[in-house]
Amino acid sequence: MVKRVLMIAYHFPPLHGSSGMQRTLRFARYLPDHGWEPIILAPSPRAYQQIDSGQLADIPQQVRIHRAFALDTARHLKVMGRYPRVLALPDRWVSWWLGAVPAGWYLIKKYKPDVIWSTYPIATAHLIGLTLQRLTGIPWMADFRDPMVQPDYPVAQWHNLLIRTIVSLILYNRRLQKWCLLTDR
């Protein structure tokens, strides 16, 4: 029996020049060999600063890819070279959340995945995963390729507080899932 995973990843072809893209791309390529069907939820290519279609050929044909509305705040929403920082919290691609949550809801209703997986260092990917998990109750795995909070990042205190809040929600969600598994709820 094939299981399905909804994979939420900012770094995915045709993005140009990201080593993080390889992680999701390889998962999508090799998960079917282990009985998992990946469904990719990625941003619209307009959110990428540079695109390169060269790695599109590396995506297996059976992998479903859905692109959701997304903008890069620093490029698309700036006026006279500046943009309001609130439009870039927790990161410059927070507009992806607006398009990805309804798109993810649609993919969940259509394909009924067994698990949701999101990958960082784009914090919005985890916000999307957290939101979809809360809406559906489907187990969610948060993949951290890098730590979200470091001693010198984020520098701004208010940004640091926001990122720490997101991390706390992720950790709370994991404890809640473990409790539900232990109590059969």
Query: pLDDT tens string for the chain (185 positions)?
Result: 789 999 999 999 888 777 777 888 999 999 999 999 999 999 999 999 888 887 787 888 889 999 999 999 888 878 888 877 777 778 888 999 999 999 999 999 999 999 999 998 888 999 999 999 999 999 998 887 766 666 676 566 766 677 777 777 777 665 555 444 444 44
Could you read off the pLDDT of 77-118 as tens digits, one per residue?
A: 788 888 777 777 788 889 999 999 999 999 999 999 999 999
pLDDT for 85: 75
Cα gap 66→176, rounded to integer Å = 29
* Cβ atoms 91, 122 nearer than 8 A: yes
* Pairing of β 3-8 and β 115-120: parallel
Average pLDDT, the chain: 83
* Cβ atoms 2, 113 nearer than 8 A: no
Cis peptide before 154 (omega within 30 of 0): yes
What pTM value is reported for the model?
0.81
118 has which bridge partners?
A: 8, 142
* Cβ atoms 111, 38 nearer than 8 A: no
Cα gap 144→127, rounded to integer Å = 13
Q: Which two tokens stand for residue 66?
A: 């859905």
Cα gap 167→22, rounded to integer Å = 24
Query: Which domains are delineated in the chain?
Result: 3-183 (3.40.50.2000)
